[in-house]
Structure 1
């Protein structure tokens, strides 16, 4: 994930494709996220998390994710989140709906984005 740091807050943005036939279910899941998944995100020092949906002129749909990280060890927090049983179960529902971009970093699911402007 792409990151920019401002004091103790690190900002991350990323993008991934989403299957057209899965749009309704994806939105439905995120309209009612599981409390355990939200709790794990907070325990992993993630705040101000948003996911946006858009359709490009070629007809493909993409998700843009943004969150702020306030912890001290991003890799450890992400590893812990990745081993959480409820989060893994959530991903077993959402991952098949997504279409990872070919040019993402090795080991990443979402493609990291570079921050080119920020205003506090």
Structure 2
């Protein structure tokens, strides 16, 4: 039997507009089930978003075989797109984000198994 695949760990960051914090928290108290289902179908697990000093830090594990295709499927999902119309106005990309980029990847500098 083959050994289980080691998940790909993904972390990203974005700023949260301070005046939008309560709205953002409220939205995430009841993420729509179709959005959660889309993430699961795309092999996203252990997804968490943390907040500190108006900076959001997201972490998830990816267990699939084609990361780019699965991320494209998430982006193409109409329910996820609708969800983003609610969450995106709460966020402000970091200064280091490329034009059109929202959440930016964070570099993993340490991991303990």
1:38 maps to what in 2?
Answer: 36
Which structure 2 residue ranges, 5 or more long, are not aligned? none
Query: Across the two proteins, how many residue pairs are aligned to each other?
Result: 109
Q: Which runs of 4+ in 1 moved over 2 A?
A: 104-108
Query: Considering only aligned residues, what root-mean-square deviation do their CA atoms show, in Å?
Result: 1.2
Question: Offset at 1:106?
Answer: 5.4
Q: Within 5 A, what are the aligned runs for 1:31-110?
A: 31-55=29-53, 61-105=54-98, 108-110=101-103
In structure 1, stretches of 5+ residues that fail to align are 1-6, 56-60
Q: What is the TM-score when the length of structure 2 is the normalising length?
A: 0.91
Aligned partner of 1:14 among 12, 16, 22: 12
Shift of residue 69 of structure 1? Answer: 0.3
TM-score (norm: length of structure 1): 0.86
More strand by share: 1
